[in-house]
A and B are shown apart, each in its own frame.
Chain A
């Protein structure tokens, strides 16, 4: 009987030890920071999709974005509609993202992807500027973007128009979701890119002045807004020159919200109050005991 208990205790110690070591291992693992993307839900999502569950649609920007080089710099243009399926999510979203003081980037594709990608590269550009002590270059942002997107093999759906002015002069690039890039004097991306490109092919010439360039970009984006269902609302334009950036948000409202014929304000009493509790305002409280924490 006693021997049996001793054996059991011995076993129990063993189990405890192994459990303890596992616990320690887990504790150590928790300390490891989870960086980048987490794929924990992928298997569960694939299983659910097989069962017939509908996956939520990522919010896409539909979009018409474009850029053009003129004699002093770069003009970037974008529409302002964000869609989730066939519903407009945002009537006035900002698609021209800040990368550096002299570099801006238009984004088409999945809204979250363009937002996070451009924010990340903007952060890296700032760190590079501090490390080198020099103004950032467009080509640096380009290199960072293409290497990042290629690493994700196109799963990050970000199609970008990158433009800016640096020591080498004005520069304009396109970046595709799989990581390829083009260096061109005029570019368009997004679902409305064909409509915008047709305007560019008609009206582009080398060595335009600022007014001509802004006008061309405006008409290109407008063509996308009016002819493409994924683009709409306003035209945003950003003009980048050496030492100076001008943001026109909006440059022009293409489709105004119309006046409503009727009055739809609800009179007081439309929502019946069934019960109410009075909230005590903060100022009515009296301080009984106070301790100031010192931050070292």
Chain B
């Protein structure tokens, strides 16, 4: 009896594997100013085409001078945050002072690389004030490669947002720009708010609310704005 093998894929042996990772979406943007740093994230947690929560911020205060933003697989985000909190507490008790921002940045890198062969599926950003009091932003890949930058977007809408940051903060691809206008906290905050509004138009995983934290020598100020909820 002849069998018509039309669907070749069905005839090949398949192996079903459990995937330890999931993609929970979200976007983080960070900008470093002269004496402040701004880090914002959306508050939507999603999986596939469903929304898991509209009120989960991706940015955490780790110390008075430092914020950590993490997006990706939320299970790993939570575990990584717990890990960092424990290490920071140890430092505080050993040294009697809080860990400075640049040291936190390096420690995060080594923590991520420690899991090089079963990575934390997280895209991280550290924002805060350096030893000189200037704003600093560090961005990471999932296995710990990091770099200090003046601005960066990471997460699901990063490809949409990064060119806009390059244009508005880096003044790229434009000439005769008036760079004398100072980068104030309010300007950066409004820019980050508009950036998230634009990103939530075109990225399905970004939306609901944007939480923007501004860190300077006086402390951390957090503000929330609504975004599209569709």
> Which A positions have Cβ atoms within 8 angstroms of B?
62, 81, 83, 86-88, 91, 191, 225-233, 254-255, 257-258, 260-262, 264, 266-267, 269-272
Contact = CB atoms under 8 A, between A and B. Distances in A.
B204 A262 contact: no
B147 interface: no
B177 interface: yes
Interface in B171-230: 174-177, 187, 190-191, 193-194, 197, 201-205, 226-230
A260 B205 CA distance: 20
Nearest to A254: B230
Nearest to B177: A270
A284 to B, nearest CB: 33
Contact of B194 (A254, A260, A266, A272): A260
Nearest to A192: B49
A contact patch SS:
loop
B49 A228 contact: yes
Contacts, number: 73
B190 A88 contact: no
Contacts of B204: 62, 83, 86-88, 229-230, 232
Given A86-B205, A229-B51, A260-B194, A81 B228 contact: no
A233 B176 CA distance: 38
B184 to A, nearest CB: 12
Interface residues of B, number: 28
Contacts of B46: 229
A262 B168 CA distance: 11
B50 interface: yes
B43 interface: no
Nearest to B187: A262
Contacts of B230: 81, 225-226, 231-233, 254-255
A111 to B, nearest CB: 15
A270 B176 contact: yes
Contact of B50 (A62, A228, A261, A269): A228
B156 interface: yes
Contact of A227 (B51, B168, B197): B51
Contacts of A258: 197, 226-228
29 contacts: A62-B204, A86-B203, A87-B203, A88-B201, A88-B202, A88-B204, A191-B49, A227-B50, A227-B51, A229-B48, A229-B50, A229-B51, A232-B204, A233-B230, A255-B228, A255-B230, A257-B197, A258-B226, A258-B227, A258-B228, A260-B194, A262-B191, A264-B168, A264-B194, A266-B174, A267-B176, A270-B174, A270-B175, A270-B177
